[in-house]
Amino acid sequence: MAENKKSLRYEFTKGIIKENPVLRLVLGTCPTLATSVSVTNSIGMGIAATIVLICSNIVISALRKVIPSKIRIPAYIVVIASFVTIVQMLVKAFVPALDDALGVYLPLIVVNCIILGRAEAFAGKNSVFASALDGLGMGIGFTFALIVMATVREILGSGTFLDGIDSLTKLFGVTSFTGFHIFSQPIGLMTMAPGGFLVFGLVMALANKVAEGKGKPKAELKGCAACPMAHSCALIDTDASCDNSGRESETE
């Protein structure tokens, strides 16, 4: 019983720091860079992705013995797309400003590497409860990475903090708080792609440093072969591996 509790605790906590999907596994980089311009957008994206992660993990785990192996990826996408549609409709109905801010990146959660990766690598092989904890932990880790990056980028790039948060707090009846104004001469570069990559690199370096102190390996970009979906990709088989350019290269 004690070992089971320890295992479940690990499944929940691993995604927050040890196997953070953004900072350690280097997944979901595109939505991370695109939505981490403001803390409000990051919180919204993080909550949406976490809900989809938990719900899709639960359903996929419950159906893992029913879904035929040959069609499991299309089946996973159908399950994930269903929950993404529900979440998007709720956001459009109750937080339209957030829906406008996130734009296409909200429906693109369907093909987020983190969601598909956890479905293939974990939910399809483990119990429902463990899969739910895995989804929750990974979702919190994703949200944590977004908020850390967004805090730096919003303060330096816009001179504000939690700007537009009233679009979320109004759901709880709080409309008076609209965020903080820090200074009037922000560094515009931080809201652009170069600033995003800079902050991403610095935060990842810090996460690596913390991980190294605990005996964990560095996060490395290893190409397609390191992706949780690698063995399902037509470009990768037992005799070949895919490099970062997407072309096949013979393994030595």
Q: Is the domain of 105 the same as that of 154? A: yes
Residues 45 and 9 in one domain: yes
35 and 102 Cβ atoms separated by less than 8 Å: yes
Residue 24, Ramachandran bin (φ over 0: left; ψ between -120 and 50: alpha; else beta): alpha
Gap between the Cα atoms of 167 and 151, Å rounded: 18
Mean pLDDT score across all residues of the chain: 84
Name every residue whose Cβ is closer than 8 Å to that of residue 232 and which is 6 or more positions away in sequence: 73, 120
Residues 103 and 154 grouped into a single domain: yes
What is the number of structural domains in the chain? 2
226/195 same-domain check: no
Q: What pLDDT, in 10s, does the model give residues 129-164? A: 999 999 999 999 999 999 999 999 999 999 999 998
Looking at the structure, tell me whether residues 157 and 246 fall in a common domain: no
Residue type, position 154, single letter? E
**Are residues 177 and 240 both part of a single domain?**
no
The whole-model pTM stands at: 0.82
The candidate with the shortest Cα–Cα distance to 53, out of 171, 153, 149, 132, is 132
Q: What is the pLDDT of residues 177-231, one digit of tens each?
A: 888 888 888 898 999 999 999 999 999 988 888 877 766 666 655 555 555 555 5
* DSSP run (H or E) holding 116: helix 113-118
Are residues 33 and 103 both part of a single domain?
yes
Whether 118 and 176 map to the same domain: the answer is yes
Q: CA quadruple 186, 189, 192, 194: dihedral positive or negative?
A: negative
Residue 229 confidence (pLDDT): 54
Do 135 and 226 lie in one domain? The reply is no
Residues 59 and 112 in one domain: yes
Range of the domain at 236: 221-252
